[in-house]
Structures are given as C-alpha cells and as structure tokens.
Amino acid sequence: MAKAPARKTSKTTRVAILGFGTVGSSVAQLLRAQRFAGIELTHIYNRGVERKRTGATAKGLGAGIVWTEDINDVLRSKVDVIIETIGGIDPIEGWLKAALKSGKHVVTANKQLIAYKGAELARLARANNRVLVYNAAVAGGVPVIPATLHGLQGDRITRLSGILNGTCNFMLSHMEHGAEYADVLKQAQAAGYAEADPSADVDGYDARAKLCILVRAAMQTGISPDDVPAQTIRTIAAIDFQYAKELGCTVRQIACAELRDNVIHARVGPMLVPKSSPIAWSHGTQNMVVTSGRYGGDVVFSGHGAGGNPTAVAIVSDLLSVVHGATAVALPVRRRAVTGEFVAPHYLRFIVRDKPGIVSAISGALTKVGANIDSILQRPGYPKDALPFVVTTEPCRTSTVEKAVRLISKMDTMLEKPLCLQMLTDED
C-alpha cells in the first residue's frame, strides 16, 4: 500500500463492523479505548443483534451506534469503511462487492475470502477507487503482509516457511511434552482455540489459505488453495515427538512455498523441524514466518497469530492506513505452475506386527523407487505385535517417497498406513 496525500483530514471517517464475535467486538473495544481522532464507529451488524448489543462485549460502546441485523442498513448508509469480521465466502463476497461498488473501503480478516476471491475483490476496489486491506487475514497480529508488501518488495523472495495456524501450534507444542492428539485437541477446544469441528485447522485448510495470500504478496504469484496439498496432523502421535527428539527435531504444522525454476512448490502439513531452527522455538498459539530473499537473506516474523486483541490491532492499523490515505498497490501478479513436490529428507514411521525381514522389505521398497535410507530408529519397550519404528531417507522427491509408502502399505505386517513427514533441514 503506497501513501497518497491524506484524505480530507477534517472529515470524520464513519466505520461499520460486520460480525460482533471475538474479533469484531475486540475491534470495537479497541476503537473505544484508543479514541482515534476522526474515527467514529457508527454501525454494528450481526444476526440476532440484540443479544450482542446487551452482552458483556458491548460494554461502554456508547449509545450513538446503530445495531442492526439488516445488512442493507450498512450497505445503504453513509459509512466510509466496512470492517468485516464474520468469515467465510458466502454471503460475505456479495456484501463486500456491494460495499466497494457503493464507495466504501473494506478492511477484512477473512482468509478464505481473500485466498479464493482476493484478486477479484482487489480489481473491483481499484475500479471503484476504493481500498481493500486484509493484513489481519494472515498471522493475526503479526504484520507479515504489510512487511512483505512494503518492507521486502525490493527483494526477490524465493522461499516462505512457517507456522500459520496457532491452533495446530498449540496442539503440537503440547504434544511435545508427551500428550496424545485426542487429549490436546480437547484442551484446545476447552481453551477456545479449536472449533467443535477442528478440520479447518488440523487438516491444514486454514494454513494453506494463508499461505496462498502470502505467496501473492511476497512472490507476486496467484495460486489457489485447491492446488496446495494439505496433510492432516491427526495422524501424529506422542511417539513421533520421541523419535523426532532423537533426530534433533520437533514436529510442527508447516506451511511452505518455494519459487524454483518459475514453479511454485507449496505444501502444508506436519513436518520435522530441527530444534536449531527459529520455527521450532514457537510455542502455544504463536505464529512464525521466515522469508528468504535472494538479496536480503532471511527475515523472521513472529508473534500472536490469533486472538481478539492481536487481530484487532492488525485491523485497526489497516483502518488507520485507509484513513491516512493509503491507496491499493496494483501488484504485478502472475500465474505460475504449482506443485506439492519438494526434494527433502523424509521421516517414515511404521507400526508393524514384528517379524524377521521387515526392515529388508522396507529397504527393498525404498530402493525400488530410488530412495536411500539415512537412518533406522527403534525405541525399546514396545510390544512386538504393535511395534513402532522409524526410517529416515536421504533427500528425495515427495512423489518418490509417496510411491514407496504405497508399496509398503500393502505389506501384511503393516498395522496402519505409514506416516510420512517431510523433514526441514538447517538450510530451510
């Protein structure tokens, strides 16, 4: 976002919030507490709005606000900026298009909408001389989008990797201390980090939407979330942290993208991360992004990736940039081929009914597809009828190791599908 001459400074900017949940109510309270000059919150829209107006999160907001459950009260009003904190694509896309066409700027925290419809909405905003800003959509309170758009635009970013989902990070960093998946999921749900249906987080859909937004900002490439493979963390068990530790690593849900030979290599899923990497240092709901630029090298961003207040800070900062005259940058976005293929060492964990010859059968399958074993780990003390052990490979293509997993899965000694995780290295 470039700075243009400030909009009429004497004019009050009227603001509406769509969605008075965790983030929307925190935005309203932040505006109340900070009393930014020239900004007036005039409308709050939510379904069943009365319970919101009289609820604890509305305390102190003042009598001048129009609380409504009719979206047209906002769309037809003289509001200057709409802050959207509802989420999802339908019906929000239509409402925000109508808002832009009727001359309203839009600030949103909605990653799914921006990942799938951001380019179209940005075009519409430019055509109407309005601004669409969405810095809260990725990494919550960590300003990684404005940093890549502005602070790093002079570089050529060739790699992005990091933790973009606080819920998974909370769960995996708790599993690091011995807890099992089902127990930490319950904890995450009780703490309000995970939804009753946790799929968007644990199956990687949330992180890959954010990765696509980041790829657009940092690599000027439009990619669809549907083209990015997402692997679930549901199959990670406490034993994987023990083996990871022996390998000097831990396990985190990683979103990564690399621009190589004019192709975007992108993937989201649980991966082994060396303990020496800054990515391994993030605990709880923290987010972290490492960008690698051809000229400037690595830059690390970290902080609160979620939560009402950190996200509200990002939204209100976007609002202030609009008020101060920000104009949309027309990014020279291009389309490039996308693949989930990486060349990396891999971690394969098997649960087998132990019998002689298993290791040589696995080794044979790996050799057949062209992958080499780097190490074999087997912790003592497990029953022979459900024995977990691990093989790591030397760097090989994702598709190669997946081929080996398909062969190995067919072996009658395998009690479940082998777990296959990409391993990050110190160079990543």
Catalytically active residues are 210
Query: Which residues, including other chains, have CB under 8 Å from residue 151's CB and lie 6 or more apart?
Result: none
Calculated CA dihedral for residues 377, 381, 382, 388, nearest 10 degrees = -10
Both tokens assigned to 311 = 């996200």
- Quick one: which of 274, 307, 388, 418 contacts ligand NAP (CB under 6 A)? 307
To ligand NAP, the closest distance from the beta carbon of 35 in angstroms equals 23
| C-alpha atoms less than 13 angstroms from C-alpha of 59 in its C-beta half-sphere | 2
Considering beta carbons, is residue 268 or 390 the nearer one to ligand NAP?
268
Binding status of residue 303 toward ligand NAP by CB under 6 A = no
Half-sphere CA count of 181, side-chain side, radius 13 A: 15
Query: Least distance from C-beta 23 to ligand NAP, angstroms?
Result: 3
Exactly one of 17, 23, 213, 365 binds ligand NAP (CB under 6 A); that residue is 23
Residue from 218, 223, 289, 285 nearest 256 by CA: 289
For ligand NAP, give the closer residue by CB, 205 or 347. Answer: 205
- Which residue, 141 or 270, is less far from ligand NAP as judged by CB? 141
Nearer to ligand NAP, 74 or 322 (CB): 74
Residue 252 has φ and ψ, to the nearest 5°, of -140, 155
Binding of residue 212 to ligand NAP (CB under 6 A): no
CB of 19 to ligand NAP, least distance (A): 3
Check binding of 111 to ligand NAP (CB under 6 A). yes
Number of residues that bind ligand NAP (CB under 6 A): 20
165 is a contact residue toward ligand NAP (CB under 6 A): no
User: How many residues appear in the chain?
Assistant: 428
48 binds ligand NAP (CB under 6 A): yes
Instruction: Specify the residue, 87 or 296, whose C-beta has the smaller distance to ligand NAP.
Output: 87
Cite the DSSP H helix spans in 153-282: 166-175, 181-190, 199-202, 205-219, 238-246
Report the residue from 15, 82, 107, 109 that binds ligand NAP according to the rule CB under 6 A.
109
List the interface residues with ligand NAP, window 120-159 (CB under 6 A): 136, 140
295: Cα separation from own chain's centroid: 26
| Residue 129 C-beta: closest distance to ligand NAP, Å | 25
Which residues are CB-neighbours of 288 under 8 A, at least 6 positions away?
162, 163, 278, 279, 281, 282, 300, 301, 302
DSSP H stretches of helix in 177-307: 181-190, 199-202, 205-219, 238-246
CA distance 329 to 319: 16
CB-based burial label for 72 (10 Å; 0-12, 13-18, 19+): exposed
Nearer of residues 217 and 338 to ligand NAP, judged by Cβ: 217
Restricted to residues 310-339, the positions that interact with ligand NAP (CB under 6 A) are 311
As measured in angstroms, the least distance from the Cβ of 139 to ligand NAP is 8
Residues of span 3-22 touching ligand NAP by CB under 6 A: 19-22
Residues that bind ligand NAP (CB under 6 A): 19-24, 46-48, 85-87, 109-111, 136, 140, 306-307, 311
